[in-house]
Amino acid sequence: MRKSNLIMEFSAEFGTSKKAAKEMVNWLEDQIVDGVKSGDEVVLDIGKFQMKKTKARTGRNPVTGETIKIKPKTKPIFKPSKKFKDSLEK
């Protein structure tokens, strides 16, 4: 499902205009991104969004075989809830 489909479904479900539904979906996206960016976990019934820090490590260039240093990173992750995983098995 694309964002445009979600907006249309939201508009139909709650009887709002597509413009209002788009603003609400955008607001929710912004809240999730801002929460995770500030280091908080954003917990919803479907799971939680959070940041994960990876350590610096060494790797290998697959073309040349040269050893390279990989910098530490901070990346967003999503952990689905048990309720969400269970609903997929039905």
Q: What distance in Å separates the CA atoms of residue 7 and residue 88, rounded to the nearest whole number? A: 22
From the number of C-beta atoms within 10 Å of its C-beta (0-12, 13-18, 19+), residue 7 rates as: buried
Domain 41-90: homologous superfamily in CATH? IHF-like DNA-binding proteins (4.10.520.10)
Please determine, for residue 73, whether its predicted confidence score (pLDDT) is greater than 80: yes
Model pLDDT, residue 90: 72
pTM of the model as a whole:
0.78
Start-end of H helices in 1-90: 3-14, 18-37, 82-88
Residues 36-72: tens digit of each pLDDT: 999 999 999 999 999 999 999 999 999 999 999 999 9
Q: What is the chain's mean pLDDT, rounded?
A: 94
Closest to 32 (Cα-Cα) out of 63, 67, 69, 77: 77
> Which token pair is 44?
């919803």
Domain residue limits, the chain: 1-40, 41-90
